[in-house]
Chains A and B, each alone.
Chain A
Amino acid sequence: ETGVTQSPTHLIKTRGQQVTLRCSSQSGHNTVSWYQQALGQGPQFIFQYYREEENGRGNFPPRFSGLQFPNYSSELNVNALELDDSALYLCASSWRPGYNSPLHFGNGTRLTVT
């Protein structure tokens, strides 16, 4: 069973640039969620995708957007990067949406904005 994989592992960008982070979900999972974890904080929910549609969104501005593909992999796009976007971005997959379906997390992408 293949777990959740994220790429790249680390990324450095300049303020104002755009970035795309990628996630492959665990085999058999059709739901992908993205979280932002600032240094020393707990992860915060960005959004969730189910069957290629956004299925819920946290308190993040529209410059955070996403996609889910037919193979259930996903992308997180962030436009007009700000210094505060520096964080660990975690992707998690689950076998379906819903609060009782455990999330399986990847190792994350550490984004640094300078």
Chain B
Amino acid sequence: AQKVTQAQTEISVVEKEDVTLDCVYETRDTTYYLFWYKQPPSGELVFLIRRNSFDEQNEISGRYSWNFQKSTSSFNFTITASQVVDSAVYFCALSEETGANNLFFGTGTRLTVIP
């Protein structure tokens, strides 16, 4: 069965600090996708990144970076030099190859960046 665990419920950092959000997943499929979404107070889920199970290269996009390690079933997300606008709930999600592209979400990590 598929499962996504985000053990950090809430994190607070001071502006300009780096922060890493953890994500651990479980799946029996060999082909799957992992995602990160950001949910600001407005409620909309904003797509940040998609990574397929065959691509373990880390990715950097501006202040955001992602570390995918199949050996530990983890897909962690780091924000460098955090800003107040980064305050939101962040969700990690898993989508398997079979069936509709339904996403299995973790319970989210609420990040608060203090000015």
**A in complex with B:** yes
CA distance A43 to B96 in the complex (A): 16
Q: Which of chain B's residues have a CB closer than 8 A to the CB of A65?
A: none
A104 at the interface (CB under 8 A from B): yes
Chain B residues within 8 Å of chain A by Cβ, number: 28
Q: Are B108 and A48 in contact (CB under 8 A)?
A: no
B58 at the interface (CB under 8 A from A): no
Q: Are A42 and B107 in contact (CB under 8 A)?
A: yes
Per-position contact with B for A86-106: 1 when CB-CB < 8 Å, else 0? 001010101001111111111
**A108 CB contact (under 8 Å) in B32, B43, B95, B107:** B43
Q: Are A48 and B43 in contact (CB under 8 A)?
A: no
How extensive is the interface on chain A, given as a class? 20 to 34
13 A-B pairs, CB-CB below 8 angstroms? A40-B107, A42-B4, A42-B91, A42-B93, A55-B100, A58-B102, A90-B45, A99-B32, A100-B33, A100-B101, A103-B45, A107-B42, A107-B43
Interface residues of A (CB under 8 A from B): 31, 33, 35, 40-45, 47-48, 50, 55-56, 58, 88, 90, 92, 94, 97-108, 110
